[in-house]
Amino acid sequence: MSAAHKIQWPTIFEGLRAMTWTDVPSEISAGITLAALIIPLNIGYAQVAGLPPVFGLYAGIVPLAVFALFTSSRHVVASPDAPISAILGAVLIGFAPIGDPLRVEYALALALLCGLLFFVFWLFRLAFLSNFLSRAVLAGFITGLGIEVLTNQARRILGAAHSIDGSGLAAIAGHLHGAMATSVNTTGYFVELIALFESIPHANLYSVAIGVGAFIIVRLMKGYAPKAPAALIALILMTVIAALFGLDQKGVKVLGAMPSGLPTLTLPNVPLIDYLRLLPGALAVVGITLCEALLLVRSCSRKHNTRADGNQVLFAYGMCSIASGFTGSLVSGPSASRTAAMDAAGSRTQLSSLVAAGTVALVMVFFTDQLAYLPTAALAGVVASAVLNLIEVKELREFWHLRRSEFWIAIVCLLSVLVFGPLQAVIIAFLLATIDLLRRASRPGTWILWEAPDGSHFIPEQTDAAPEMPGIVIYRFGASLYFANATLFEEEVQNLVAQAAIPVKWFVLDAEAINDVDTTGEETLHQVLTWLAKRGVTIAVSRANPSTTALLRHYHLSEVIGENRLYPTNRHAIAAFRRETGKRAGE
């Protein structure tokens, strides 16, 4: 194995870099807030997957800590979330019904299989796939996720006692998305929107007051006391209010009793042949985690001006999934809402995740009764405030003013998240980005160059301008020559020569920007050279880099051009032109 392809083993504690002792208080505060978010949300996502609530609680202990130790991102939080839980529920329904003990076994086997697949993606360093997703794709995708999470939290704040429940949403989803949707999070954004509007007439005013109050507290403290743990203060205050006034007796939903105890080592009892049947579902989970995680990592890195190795992030998710399979935990993925909540709480390293894991463990053992009065509407208000940071209205406005094509790419990506879901949206976004890339690559910048009067430099002009130096054309092609732009190259060369007012004697190709030539480009270049030679035009190439020169020799094009016609600069080419044409003129 060559040095370039050696396995780069990940290092632990990368997510804790740049942490100082002054950061510890804010990290601890953020970690406790994260634990307060994890407990109720993980229970809900376990129910989405049709698994016992304890599956979600255990995901906030060992898997969370393992990811924090191995990831290279300081900000992304690994936790069960809606898309992964939805896929998990859809996959498991084909193996065991809800309530069947076998469903738990297959869920653990799926987690182990996801871990192995993550290791494969890490081994072959496939994190580079996220590089093909542009800034516009990133903004549209994250904004779509933010809108979806915000809508979900708004419905939680309403706390409607007579709103559509899971079975009602599944019935609506049966008409919209097919029979596989079984819960609120498997039915898509527009079913959530329908449920939200259905809930408004039945909203619980106490629940609305709790949720909106938490939201306002967080927003005000962010403006007037940005260093204070606003989310934690809001949660404590609303819990005290709910307990003092007995709001749980007035329709405000609270967490209620929590199961206690720590996770133990588990081994899934599943036939080996069934792992092959689980493979498509595991690929779906890994695929959506790959896309969402790398997009979220890039978003956080860009926002905080940090760097994270995407391949090590994949390794961390592999370790996290293995830990889930061995500790009876729900599969974790990138949580945009909890990442945003930690950012709003002032977290800047993975210490907050480690604190959260320790806090959840302590709560599971000693303090489950104290969480009974925590209103879910208050949690929804905190998360709703946090995900506002994910909705990139400013960036979309910037795209509109700077480049309309990227604005529409972002909008299509945003709508794709809401209409088709995150995984399909990334596929659509990737195709859009690829099409946009090919569109721009097929029309690279091209110029003709003419020498300045004092001979100090060359001045570029559009290719439709008449050459300033009669008898010679210096043509700069601004990209590698390949199948997407070869036709443009051929058409422009022929037009420049055929439409010149004074017959062209020399044609110089400035190849500085040509870093590669594929076989289609080679064929086109050979045809152009033959066409020029038939018209008595001398062909020369200037400023070609060593790799391009090697390609010309490999394709035997240098034999057509002539080794003596490969010039290091355009000045050398013009000097040769003047010597030879002057000699011929003298004769």
284 close to 90: Cβ distance less than 8 angstroms:
no
Q: Give 23-78 as a DSSP string.
A: GHHHHHHHHHHHHHHHHHHHHHHHHHTT--HHHHHHTTTHHHHHHHHH-S-SSPPE
- Nearest CA to 574 among 538, 525, 530? 538
Q: How many C-beta atoms lie closer than 10 Å to residue 151's C-beta?
A: 18
| pLDDT, position 413 | 86
User: Of all helices (H) and strands (E), which one includes residue 566?
Assistant: strand 566-567
Q: How many C-beta atoms lie closer than 10 Å to residue 13's C-beta?
A: 14
Q: How far is it, in rounded angstroms, from Cα 306 to Cα 227?
A: 21
Residues 412, 418, 420, 425, CA torsion sign: positive
Phi-psi region of 424 (alpha: psi -120 to 50; beta: other; left: phi over 0): alpha
DSSP for residue 466: P
Domain residue spans in the chain? 13-159+203-435, 446-586
Q: Which tens digits make up the pLDDT trace of 158-193?
A: 987 655 444 444 444 444 444 333 333 334 677 778
Phi-psi region of 30 (alpha: psi -120 to 50; beta: other; left: phi over 0): alpha
Tokens of 38: 């994890």
Helix, coil or strand: residue 476: strand
| pLDDT, position 4 | 45
9 close to 311: Cβ distance less than 8 angstroms:
no
Q: How far is it, in rounded angstroms, from Cα 46 to Cα 92?
A: 12
Report phi then psi at 246, rounded to 5: 55, 45
| pLDDT, position 229 | 65
Residue at 215: amino acid letter: F
356 close to 338: Cβ distance less than 8 angstroms:
no
| pLDDT, position 166 | 44
228 close to 206: Cβ distance less than 8 angstroms:
no
Q: CATH class for domain 446-586?
A: alpha beta
- Ranges in the chain, pLDDT < 50: 1-4, 164-187, 583-587
Helix, coil or strand: residue 282: helix
Length of the chain: 587
Report phi then psi at 225, rounded to 5: -140, 70
Torsion of CA 50, 56, 57, 61, to 10 degrees: 150
Q: For strand 333-334 and strand 446-451, is the pairing parallel, antiparallel, or unpaired?
A: unpaired
Q: How far is it, in rounded angstroms, from Cα 357 to Cα 363?
A: 10
390 close to 148: Cβ distance less than 8 angstroms:
no
Tokens of 412: 């299509």
CA distances from 288 to 19, 295, 334 (A): 30, 11, 9
DSSP for residue 509: E
Contacts of residue 477, defined as CB under 8 A and 6 or more positions apart, other chains included, come to 444, 446, 489, 509, 510, 511, 513, 514
Report phi then psi at 567, rounded to 5: -105, 145
- Nearest CA to 40 among 338, 317, 386, 418? 338
Helix, coil or strand: residue 479: coil
| pLDDT, position 21 | 83
Q: For strand 538-542 and strand 506-510, is the pairing parallel, antiparallel, or unpaired?
A: parallel
Q: Where are the beta strands (DSSP E) in 499-559?
A: 506-510, 538-542
Looking up tokens 């069960």 gives 80
Report phi then psi at 375, rounded to 5: -75, 135
Q: Which tens digits make up the pLDDT trace of 82-91?
A: 778 777 877 8
User: Of all helices (H) and strands (E), which one includes residue 459?
Assistant: strand 458-461
Tokens of 433: 């980005």
* Exposure string over 86-116, b if 16+ CB within 10 A, otherwise e: bbbbbbbbebbeeeeeebbbbbbbbbbbbbe
Q: How far is it, in rounded angstroms, from Cα 498 to Cα 320?
A: 65
| Residue 353 CA, distance from chain mean position | 21
- Nearest CA to 27 among 353, 381, 433, 296? 353
Contacts of residue 524, defined as CB under 8 A and 6 or more positions apart, other chains included, come to 481, 486, 487, 489, 490
